[in-house]
Amino acid sequence: MTWKSQLANSIITPEQLAKRFGIDPEPLRAVIARYPLRITPHYLGLIERPGDPIWRQCVPDPYELAADDLPEDSLNEDSFSPVPAVVHRYPDRALLLVSGQCAGYCRFCTRKNRVGTAALAFSAEQIAEGVAYLAATPGIRDVILTGGDPLLLDDDRLEEILTSLHDIPHVEMIRIGSRVPVTLPERITPQLCQLLARFQPLYLNTHFNHPRELVASSVKACASLANAGIQLGNQTVLLRGVNDDAEVMQELCRSLLQMRVRPYYLHHLDQARGTAHFRVPVERGLAIIAAMRGRIAGFGIPQYVIDPPGGQGKVLLAENLLEAGETLKVQTSGGVVELPNHQLAARSNCC
């Protein structure tokens, strides 16, 4: 199946899910009315049984509508958006949101309130305005294409955007955040690899969360990218009932290294509304990382990070944890920061 026919044949309604798994579609209707559904035939095929780690990531759950006091824009991205398609929070790097669509809508996504909706579907003019902002801001050396998923754009459109960024003298590198190696590996065509290879230095961070996602077609997609000279990294989100287990995380990271994909971040789930059922305590995340030390190459251990509410930026969670309890006291380059433990729900966009 080509990537376009994978998309065309994706599950997007509760009725399709009900037919496939014999479940009651009724409770899912309200969830999907609020947050979009898409599961590619590829990803659907990875589900072994309801409730398993693949299922939990992609099948809507009534818990998404449970009342929580979590904000819709947990990272306060709006206040760091000089123009609609750009998030500029650090001096030297910025996000350019080039696609509002994903090959699958992850139930735990940080941007679940906007992804797959008009709110994240920026027009070509708005993206051009974003590129103009980046071109007019000489401090930016590093541009991260995200969204949504940039690789849902056609090759031609991607080429236009990459060319416009590559032409900015102060942009020294480009990154792409994409989950398609996981959810739509067919998208990684030889043509795409050739196209990306023209825009070096280019880093692609993908988003595997569980060893069962590393099937032959995904392994092949990563090999094609690596053979084209693209540096590959992986951002995992720590998710209850998916990968909140030391053995699972260790196996995931070991297998990624074999695939020439370097584990980069383990994200503590952001606090975004509708994701509280994926929450894992920080202590468990720290224990998972601690269990990996000495058992895998140092560079096979991802950095465990949290993006505290308010958008002050990612904070590493490790030896800098001074105190864990009601609040976490963390040593950062900017001094000691206190984070309210109970609020630290669930980071979650790859991408």
Ligand X SMILES: *Cc1c(COP(=O)(O)O)cnc(C)c1O
Is residue 253 among the annotated active site residues?
no
Q: Are strands 93-99 and 202-206 parallel, antiparallel or unpaired?
A: unpaired
CB of 104 to ligand SF4, least distance (A): 6
Q: What are phi and psi of 180, to 5 degrees?
A: -65, -30
Catalytic site includes residue 73: no
| Alpha-carbon gap, residue 178 to 222, rounded angstroms | 12
Stretch that binds ligand X, among 51-59, 89-97, 179-187, 208-216 (CB under 6 A): 89-97
Q: Is-catalytic flag, 295?
A: no
| Partners of residue 303 on adjacent β-strands | 265
Which tokens go with 241?
């009932």
- Beta carbons within 8 Å of 290's beta carbon, 6+ residues apart: none
Q: Does 230 bind ligand X (CB under 6 A)?
A: no
- Single residue of 21, 25, 84, 90 touching ligand X by CB under 6 A: 90
Q: Does residue 349 touch ligand SF4 according to CB under 6 A?
A: yes
Region of 35-43, 86-94, 223-231, 278-286 interacting with ligand X (CB under 6 A): 86-94
**Site size for ligand X, by CB under 6 A?**
7
64 vs 149 by CB, closer to ligand SF4: 149
Residues between 105 and 144 that touch ligand SF4 (CB under 6 A) = 105-106, 109, 111, 115
Q: Is the peptide bond before 60 cis (omega within 30 degrees of 0)?
A: no
Question: Residue 263 Cβ, how far from ligand SF4 at the closest point, in Å?
Answer: 17
As given in the structure block, the two tokens for residue 183 are: 């959810």
The correct pick among 64, 68, 149, 186 for binding ligand SF4 (CB under 6 A) is: 149
Closest to ligand SF4 by CB, 37 vs 161, is 37
Q: What character string, x for contact with ligand SF4 (CB under 6 A) and - otherwise, covers 70-109?
A: --------------------------------x--xx--x
Strand partners, 328: 324, 339
Helical ranges in the chain per DSSP H: 3-8, 14-21, 26-34, 41-44, 53-58, 124-135, 155-166, 180-183, 190-197, 216-227, 246-258, 282-292
- A 10 A CB-CB count for 294 gives 8
* Smallest separation (angstroms) from ligand X to the CB of 230: 16
Distance (Å, rounded) from C-alpha 64 to C-alpha 35?
9
Euclidean distance between CA atoms 280 and 197, whole angstroms? 38
Under the criterion CB under 6 A, does residue 277 sit at the interface with ligand SF4? no
Q: Nearer to ligand X by C-beta: 74 or 224?
A: 74
Cis geometry, peptide bond prior to residue 201 (ω within 30 degrees of 0): yes
Angstrom distance (rounded) from CA 211 to CA 140: 35
Residue 118 CB, shortest distance to ligand X, in Å, is: 22
Q: Does 314 bind ligand X (CB under 6 A)?
A: yes
Q: Are 263 and 253 in contact (CB under 8 A)?
A: yes
89 is catalytic: yes
Chain positions contacting ligand SF4, by CB under 6 A: 102, 105-106, 109, 111, 115, 148-149, 179, 207, 348-351
Chain positions contacting ligand X, by CB under 6 A: 87, 89-90, 93, 95, 144, 314
Catalytic residue positions? 89-90, 93, 102, 106, 109, 111, 270, 307, 314
